[in-house]
Amino acid sequence: MSHNTTGQCPPEEGSGDTQGIKVLSAKEALRRDLKTLEVPAGADVMFSPYEPEFADYFAQVEVKIFDDLKTLGFVPRGLKEESVRRAIADDDEEAYKIAQTRLYNSPSGHGCECQPQKSSGPVSKLREQYASARQSFNPALARVLSDHLKTRIEWDNPIAGIVHKWVRHIEFAERAVNVAILNDITINRGATLRVDASTRSLLAGSIYIHQTGRLIFNGGYLKIWAHAISRLRTFAISTTALEDIPWRSLTS
């Protein structure tokens, strides 16, 4: 049984005008023709779906089911939905028990004496305790990811938190997410490419960045999935073959 008392919200989106950008399924988005992007030396470029010159590089992608998350790389491909959902439910249950214990053991029923109470009802207090306990608490999910990735993932690892967040997202799926999909990116000497904060994922062939160049994301989290990311002193670049781009494969 799962106790979701926090009112989890999907990842935030931008508020700009994306009327000219097609809304596609995850697989349709990955089948698109790809364009390359080059940032000239010394330039400072805002790469945004709200800028008309870059709208063709973006798609608004419907992320509604677990397979969409795997297709876009928000969760590892090959991961079983049943295992993930069962682990999240186990973590919800354990966090709920921790919240109940904290509330029971707290003389004030609040569990924290360092700040004033924001609410007084027992349900509200339990919600506060649950939210505190559940934040970054993913031990069961971390074990599933550790087994799948063949490496140790700790209970508070951001990877587990991100997977949890995206699985919660598809329970809402109120609107499409902005995804940048292109072939190679070249950021020349002294240039800066700033990725708009509304972008949830950047899928590319290869990303070449001069040692004096910069790739900056103006938001909290951006999934970058590319064949290679290289920092170079001088450029000797060949176009990435489509068969070399890992996300072009639709096999989950």
Residue pair 45/194 in contact (Cβ under 8 Å)? The answer is yes
Residue pair 61/25 in contact (Cβ under 8 Å)? The answer is yes
Tell me which residue of 143, 196, 184, 145 sits closest to 166, measured CA to CA.
Answer: 145
Distance in Å from the first CA to the final CA of the chain: 28
Q: What is the pTM for the complete model shown?
A: 0.79
Looking at residue 90, what is its pLDDT? 98
Where are the domains positioned within the chain?
A: 23-64+174-248, 81-172
Q: What is the pLDDT of residues 178-201, one digit of tens each?
A: 999 999 999 999 999 999 999 999
The 10 Å Cβ neighbour count of residue 93 is 14
Q: What is the pLDDT of residues 111-125, one digit of tens each?
A: 444 444 454 577 888
Looking at residue 18, what is its pLDDT? 58
In this structure, what DSSP letter does residue 88 have? H
Q: What is the pLDDT of residues 19-67, one digit of tens each?
A: 568 899 999 999 999 999 999 999 999 999 999 999 999 999 999 999 9
pLDDT interval class at 6 (50, 70, 90): very low
User: Which residue reads 């364009």 in tokens?
Assistant: 35
Looking at residue 104, what is its pLDDT? 85
Looking at residue 221, what is its pLDDT? 87
